[in-house]
């Protein structure tokens, strides 16, 4: 789910550092009464401001990317210190840079310059007040919250009186594999012991960030976050709900079938046949994806399913051959081969002699051609799909490399993930046959199982992807105080997901803090949008390629026409409003979730048949 398509340091905080240093040095050489004010600033001032910023920020971005690459591929105390120092510098200076850009808010400039100024002024996730002490306080809080999550563990005393502790990975394995409801509840509840101490810090963090947002001209952090989508903040909120309304019937059908399967497994006392589903039974710590309980809800009919891992091993695929296959996919669309440096500098295999971050990610280290992936590849289906996904990020990065520095990004924060997932949707049996991995195509009898597996992850995720920021927007906006944080969290989970807590939760539990993106302050709407856009992209590219098969069996492999349309969007980067980029591929300027309904149409028919006689909804 979380893939780093561009180094976080480069994409946000630290891109401000060098230019602000220059501004501060210049300010020291001039008296305060000669400094330009917002009333005396001109369009030419704005142009010079942006040009100088881009030149210096680009140089800084390369330094930051290299620093973090070394840190993540060679973890030790020294590289950690270098990365922390660079990150700290960017954090300290980012607010001043955004404030400098905000001074041009009322200066009349052309559309391109306005867009760049907006990117600079809105690029902060948690803007601190300009007050030095409050800036330092906010930095300290964010670091402490991140550390509390990262070091979180659930400890209890065993029968022998010894204390046993489990970290998140241990507890996730229990949620994934156990079918003992008591064990599931213990693991689910245990992880949520880490978050109550976060609440008071989180409350203060919001107070400080809202103060910083007001200094930038926004009502609060909610308005700041929602202003990054080329529309008014309230219009963006309405757009999210509109898209959810399109897919809600499919989700409700899936929910009804899954609830019935869980009821058969656990009985009415543990998994009621009506109402919300208890969150600890869905195979995931946050009930955001349900693929781990496929065995409990799978179709009864035996059907042939493609085992990609066995096909890879049988055909002697190694790590490099898997990546070469991903490259060949893009070459078939008309994209140029990856540069030699990609193969020389990427991390494909976990080194034996040092600690590294194995989490798959795609990197752009020089804003031109030094693109890489960082993985610890295993020969299995997940990594085969992940490679195609990560290369989608790399080809996106290379496509927009000639844009000005501030436009080196995706059309909105949902597009980058959506492009990677769009490519992964083309890993179909037809594609496997085309590249020689599969001799004969399975018949359509296996499609329902395949679609159900996908829906348990992709469709089940949608309401969770929506409600996380729905909660935060209301908290940031002051609609609910700290005493109501937890109640609001579970109200929204029941409203959107039809999921509830398996036990009563106290008001001070702060269950939102048990999800990394909350204490980590990572906006979440991007993931909801990515899940919508990937299917819209896929449907359009399949139509462009001349596909006549059902959309879930379509692969755009080999279609130069689809590749040309895709590249037209990728090359735009962040230079135009996202509806322009969307139109380049789909011909439409509106996001449309009906592509998900088209993709899962056979499954919806099957689910409706299974749900006959059941009371659906919650």
pLDDT digits (tens, 9 = 90+) for 286-307: 999 999 999 999 998 776 778 9
The pLDDT-based confidence of 324 (bands split at 50, 70, 90) is: very high
For 61-66, the CB contacts below 8 A with 24+ separation are 61/10, 61/14, 61/15, 61/367, 61/405, 62/365, 62/366, 62/367, 64/7, 64/9, 64/10, 64/14, 64/15, 64/90, 65/7, 65/9, 65/10, 65/363, 65/364, 65/365, 65/366, 66/365
pLDDT at 10: 35
Closest CA to 563 of 577, 579, 584: 584
- pLDDT > 90 in the chain, percent: 74
Alpha carbon distance 246, 226 (integer Å): 21
* pLDDT the model gives residue 375: 94
- Report strand pairing: 499-500 vs 277-278: parallel
Q: What is the DSSP letter of 34?
A: G
Given a cut of 70, is residue 15 above it in pLDDT? no
Q: Is residue 560 part of a domain?
A: no
Q: What is the CA radius of gyration of the chain?
A: 25
- The predicted structure's pLDDT at residue 526: 94
pLDDT tens profile 489-533: 999 999 999 999 999 999 899 999 999 999 989 999 999 999 999
Q: Tens digits of per-residue pLDDT, 407-443?
A: 999 999 999 999 999 999 999 999 999 999 999 998 8
Which tokens belong to 378?
Answer: 């295993």
Predicted confidence (pLDDT) at residue 36 exceeds the cutoff of 60: no
Nearest to 464 by CA among 533, 417, 411, 517: 517
Res 7 pLDDT > 70: no
What integer is the mean pLDDT of 237-246?
Answer: 96
Three-state SS for 604?
helix
Whole domain around residue 39: which residue ranges?
A: 8-127
Is residue 62 assigned to a domain?
Answer: yes
Does 585 fall in a domain?
A: no
What confidence tier does 92 reach under pLDDT thresholds 50, 70, 90?
low
Please determine, for residue 160, whether its predicted confidence score (pLDDT) is greater than 90. Answer: no
- Tell me the pTM: 0.90
pLDDT digits (tens, 9 = 90+) for 330-355: 999 999 999 999 999 999 999 988 88
Per the domain annotation, does 220 fall within a domain? no
* Three-state secondary structure call for residue 290: coil
Taking the alpha carbons at both ends of the chain, their separation in whole angstroms is 27
What span, in angstroms and rounded, lies between the C-alpha atoms of 255 and 480?
Answer: 29
Q: Would you state the pLDDT for residue 27? A: 34
Active site residues: 390, 517
82 located within any domain: yes
* Residue 390 to residue 316: CA distance in whole angstroms: 22
Query: Over the range 255-272, which residues count as b (16 or more CB within 10 Å of their CB) and which as e?
Result: bbbbbbbbbebbeeebbb
Tell me how many domains the chain contains. Answer: 1
Domain-located, residue 113: yes
Instruction: Judge whether 400 and 572 are in contact, CB under 8 Å.
Output: yes
pLDDT of residue 97: 72
Sign of CA dihedral 165, 170, 172, 176: negative
pLDDT at 93: 56
Residue 26 has pLDDT above 50, yes or no: no
127 against 474, higher pLDDT: 474
Give a yes or no: residue 315 inside a domain: no
Would you state the pLDDT for residue 136?
84
Averaged pLDDT of the chain: 90
Kindly provide the residue ranges of all beta strands, DSSP E only, lying in 296-360, ordered along the sequence: none
Instruction: Please give the DSSP secondary-structure letter assigned to residue 617.
Output: -
Q: How far apart are CA 151 and CA 558, in angstroms?
A: 46
pLDDT given for residue 258 in this prediction: 98
Read off the pLDDT of each residue in 577-583 and give the average, rounded to a whole number: 97
Integer Cα distance of 175 and 190 in angstroms: 12
Q: How far apart, in whole angstroms, are the C-alpha atoms of residue 13 and residue 291?
A: 35
Residue 463 lies in a domain: no
What span, in angstroms and rounded, lies between the C-alpha atoms of 358 and 348? 9
């Amino acid at each position: 789910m979380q893939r780093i398509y561009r180094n976080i340091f480069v994409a946000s905080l630290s891109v401000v550092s060098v230019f602000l240093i220059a501004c501060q040095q210049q300010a020291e050489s001039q008296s305060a009464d000669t400094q330009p004010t917002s009333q005396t600033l001109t369009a030419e001032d704005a142009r010079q401001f942006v040009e100088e910023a881009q030149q210096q920020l680009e140089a800084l971005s390369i330094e930051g990317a290299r620093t973090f690459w070394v840190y993540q591929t060679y973890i030790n105390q020294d590289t950690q210190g270098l990365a922390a120092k660079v990150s700290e510098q960017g954090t300290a200076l980012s607010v001043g840079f955004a404030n400098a850009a905000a001074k041009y808010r009322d200066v009349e400039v052309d559309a391109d310059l306005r867009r760049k100024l907006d990117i600079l002024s809105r690029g902060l996730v948690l803007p601190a007040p300009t007050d030095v002490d409050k800036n330092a306080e906010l930095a300290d809080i964010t670091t402490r919250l991140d550390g509390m999550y990262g070091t979180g563990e659930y400890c209890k005393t065993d029968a022998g009186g010894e204390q046993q502790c489990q970290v998140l990975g241990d507890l996730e394995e229990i949620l994934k594999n156990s079918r003992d409801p008591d064990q599931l509840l213990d693991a689910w509840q245990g992880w949520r012991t880490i978050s109550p101490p976060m609440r008071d810090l989180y409350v203060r963090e919001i107070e400080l960030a809202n103060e910083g947002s007001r200094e930038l001209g926004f009502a609060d952090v909610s308005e700041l976050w929602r202003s990054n989508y080329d529309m008014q903040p309230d219009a963006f909120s309405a757009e999210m709900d509109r898209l959810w309304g399109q897919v809600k019937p499919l989700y409700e059908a899936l929910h009804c079938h899954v609830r019935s399967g869980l009821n058969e497994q656990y009985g009415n006392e543990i998994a009621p046949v009506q109402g919300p589903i208890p969150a600890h039974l869905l195979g995931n710590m946050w009930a955001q994806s349900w693929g781990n309980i496929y065995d409990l809800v799978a179709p009864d009919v035996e059907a042939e399913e493609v085992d990609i891992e066995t096909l890879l091993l049988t055909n002697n695929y190694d790590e490099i051959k898997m990546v070469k296959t991903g490259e060949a996919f893009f070459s078939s669309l008309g994209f140029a081969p990856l540069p030699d440096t990609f193969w020389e500098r990427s991390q494909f295999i976990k080194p034996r002699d040092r600690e590294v971050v194995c989490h798959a990610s795609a990197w752009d280290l020089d804003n031109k051609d030094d693109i890489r992936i960082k993985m610890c590849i295993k020969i299995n289906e997940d990594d085969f799909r992940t490679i195609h996904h990560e290369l989608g990020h790399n080809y996106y990065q290379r496509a927009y490399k000639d844009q000005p520095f501030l436009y080196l990004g995706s059309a909105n924060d949902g597009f980058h993930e959506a492009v990677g997932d769009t490519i992964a949707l083309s890993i179909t049996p037809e594609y496997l046959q085309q590249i020689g991995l599969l001799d004969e195509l399975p018949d359509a009898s296996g499609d329902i199982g395949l679609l159900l597996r996908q829906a348990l992850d992709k469709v089940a995720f949608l309401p969770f992807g929506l409600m996380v920021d729905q909660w935060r927007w209301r908290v940031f906006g002051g609609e609910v105080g700290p005493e109501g944080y937890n109640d609001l969290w579970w109200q929204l989970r029941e409203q959107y997901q039809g999921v509830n807590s398996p036990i009563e939760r106290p008001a001070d539990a702060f269950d939102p803090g048990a999800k990394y993106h909350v204490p980590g302050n990572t906006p979440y709407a991007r993931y909801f949008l990515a899940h919508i856009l990937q299917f819209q992209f896929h449907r359009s590219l399949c139509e462009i390629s001349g596909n006549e098969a059902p959309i879930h069996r379509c692969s755009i492999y080999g279609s130069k026409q689809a590749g040309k349309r895709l590249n037209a969007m990728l090359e735009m980067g962040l230079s135009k409003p996202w509806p322009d980029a969307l139109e380049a591929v789909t011909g439409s300027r509106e996001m449309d979730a009906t592509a998900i309904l088209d993709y899962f149409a056979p499954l919806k028919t099957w689910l409706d048949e299974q749900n006959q006689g059941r009371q659906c909804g919650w």
